[in-house]
């Protein structure tokens, strides 16, 4: 869609109250388009009051500014990412990607309730978020058209980059927080922060050039470990340190403990975007990393040698699906249901020592589906008889010798 298709109409816009949102909203209004700003409250740690977003959007020209609480939905989606261990290249926990789906699911009902048939977003034409917004909207509300100013030549002619957008907002007296002095861009939600662009586009810029917002870097963390315990029931963390807690509180506490100890802070990765180009990101996800590590320790007790590679295959596939925009399609639905067969067995209490960027295993108990036993002991216990391995190795040796006879082995 182009701006000329929208003149005289009113559209909904997925807005964060940031530079792109404010610029696009004022520009659309000046072009004769009414804008209803739709914001998902994702527990953004960089917003002291989420209602400030509505204030900025009204100043930018939105005729209505709607805030929808999507924190619980995002926490549940984040938990699914943990349960699947669905990270993308380099250990990225897909925190921004999964948030786009929670955002669209939250604002589409507000859009349709007002009879609006166009949803605008501020994602660039070079990134992944445009794909996530587009496909999620197409799958959840196929009658809604998606308009992206960053793909409109008229918008790009006036705003080829952040510099022009900042100057425009300053001239229009729109209260944005972005400045030319800020050397990178940040996207935030309760699961984590994504830092990119600006000076981070230069590979000569150290990852710790970023000023962390959810904690401290490992070298700045206390020189003493913190013990934390998680109780999982069928894959859901229901208690921390023995205290029953709702999911949002678990994430909040895990973020605080992980962040204070440098866990999940400052992950650098140069990743492959779905559009076919590489980009650099520096990520913060202390709660996801801490909870994810604790969950993995339980998985190690539960999955046998056939289940483990199946799980890992499903995990990698879902990680790519989330990253590339396909959370709501058939493949993701099938993957999530298959992973659910593993999730239902993840019950137990796991203790973790958190120290300067590391979440180290400190103990586990009350895990009824654990396969770990004394069978592997070096002591004279357990029901696995060493002698039984003689026949086992004899059988394996048949194929090993056959490989040699067939010229299929190498001494290199």
Closest to 292 (Cα-Cα) out of 320, 334, 250, 327: 250
* Strand arrangement of the beta sheet that strand 185-189 belongs to: 185-189, 192-196, 278-284, 265-272
Q: In sequence order, what are the beta bridge partners of 120?
A: 13, 147
Q: Is it the case that residue 338 has pLDDT exceeding 90? A: yes
Q: Is it the case that residue 233 has pLDDT exceeding 90? A: yes
- Percent of the chain at pLDDT exceeding 70: 100
Average pLDDT, the chain: 95
Confidence of residue 90 (pLDDT cuts 50, 70, 90): confident
Q: Is it the case that residue 377 has pLDDT exceeding 90? A: no
Mean pLDDT of the region 116-123: 96
CA 125/CA 396 separation, integer angstroms:
55
Residue tagged 């492959």 (tokens): 272
Mean pLDDT of the region 100-119: 97
* Strand arrangement of the beta sheet that strand 348-355 belongs to: 243-244, 236-240, 226-233, 348-355, 358-365
How much is the pLDDT for 177? 80
pLDDT digits (tens, 9 = 90+) for 185-212: 899 999 999 999 889 999 999 999 999 9
Which positions are catalytic?
A: 20, 100, 129, 185
Closest to 77 (Cα-Cα) out of 45, 53, 46, 43: 43
User: C-alpha dihedral over 104, 110, 112, 115, to 10 degrees?
Assistant: -140
Backbone phi and psi for residue 408, each to the nearest 5 degrees, phi listed first: -105, 15
Closest to 95 (Cα-Cα) out of 81, 109, 83: 81
How much is the pLDDT for 79? 98
Mean pLDDT of the region 258-262: 98
CA atoms within 13 A on the CB side of 406: 7
How much is the pLDDT for 388? 92
How much is the pLDDT for 270? 95
How much is the pLDDT for 371? 96
How much is the pLDDT for 163? 87
**The 3-state secondary structure of 323-357, one letter per residue:** HHCCCCCHHHHHHHHHHHHHHCCCCEEEEEEEECC
Residue 34 near residue 140 (C-beta atoms within 8 A): no
3-class SS at 159? coil
Mean pLDDT of the region 378-394: 88
How much is the pLDDT for 178? 75
Mean pLDDT of the region 62-88: 98
Mean pLDDT of the region 243-254: 98
How much is the pLDDT for 281? 94
Structure tokens at 364: 């586990």
Q: Could you give the C-alpha distances from 276 to 146, 173, 272, 299, 385, in angstroms and in order?
A: 22, 37, 7, 33, 54
Residue 269 near residue 281 (C-beta atoms within 8 A): yes
3-class SS at 8? coil
* Strand arrangement of the beta sheet that strand 145-147 belongs to: 64-69, 34-41, 10-14, 118-120, 145-147
pLDDT digits (tens, 9 = 90+) for 148-189: 999 999 999 999 988 899 999 999 999 988 777 777 889 999
pLDDT digits (tens, 9 = 90+) for 17-52: 999 999 999 999 999 999 999 999 999 998 999 999
Mean pLDDT of the region 247-253: 98
Residue tagged 């953004």 (tokens): 44
Q: In sequence order, what are the beta bridge partners of 119?
A: 12, 146
Burial of 247 (0-12, 13-18, 19+ CB in 10 A): middle
Closest to 253 (Cα-Cα) out of 235, 233, 231: 231
């Amino acid at each position: 869609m182009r701006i000329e298709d929208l003149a005289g109409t009113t559209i909904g816009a997925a807005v964060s109250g940031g530079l792109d949102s404010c610029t696009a909203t004022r520009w659309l209004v000046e072009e004769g388009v009414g804008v209803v700003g739709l914001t998902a409250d994702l527990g953004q740690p960089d917003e002291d009051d989420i209602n400030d977003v509505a204030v900025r959007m009204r100043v930018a020209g939105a005729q209505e500014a709607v805030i929808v609480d999507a924190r619980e939905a995002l926490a549940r989606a984040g938990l699914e990412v943990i349960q699947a261990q669905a990270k993308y290249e380099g250990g990225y926990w897909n925190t921004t990607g999964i948030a786009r789906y929670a955002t669209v699911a939250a604002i589409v009902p507000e859009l349709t309730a007002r009879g609006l048939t166009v949803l605008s977003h501020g994602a660039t034409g070079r990134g992944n978020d445009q794909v996530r917004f587009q496909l999620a909207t197409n799958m959840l509300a196929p009658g809604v058209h998606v308009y992206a100013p960053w793909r409109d030549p008229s918008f790009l002619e006036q705003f080829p980059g952040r510099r022009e957008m900042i100057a425009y907002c300053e001239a229009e007296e729109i209260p944005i927080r972005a400045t030319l002095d800020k050397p990178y861009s940040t996207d935030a939600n309760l699961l984590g922060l994504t830092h990119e662009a600006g000076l981070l586009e230069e590979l000569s810029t150290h990852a710790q050039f970023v000023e962390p917002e959810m904690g401290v870097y490992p070298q700045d963390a206390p020189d003493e470990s913190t013990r934390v315990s998680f109780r999982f029931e069928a894959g859901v963390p229901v208690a921390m340190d023995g205290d029953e807690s709702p999911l949002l509180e678990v994430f909040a506490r895990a973020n605080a403990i992980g962040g204070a100890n440098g866990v999940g802070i400052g992950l650098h990765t140069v990743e492959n975007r779905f559009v076919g180009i590489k980009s650099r990101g520096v990520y913060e996800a202390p709660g996801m990393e801490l909870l994810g590590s604790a969950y993995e320790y339980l998985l190690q007790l539960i999955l046998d040698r056939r289940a483990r590679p199946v799980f890992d295959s499903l995990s990698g596939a879902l990680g790519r699906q989330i990253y590339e925009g396909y959370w709501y399609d058939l493949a993701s639905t099938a993957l999530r249901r298959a992973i659910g067969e593993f999730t239902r067995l993840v019950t137990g209490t796991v203790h973790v020592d958190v120290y300067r960027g590391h979440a180290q295993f400190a103990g586990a108990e009350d895990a009824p589906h654990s396969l770990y036993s004394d069978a592997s002991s070096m002591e004279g216990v357990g029901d696995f008889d060493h002698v039984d391995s003689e026949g086992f190795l004899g059988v394996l040796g048949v194929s090993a010798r056959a490989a040699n006879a067939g010229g299929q082995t190498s001494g290199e």
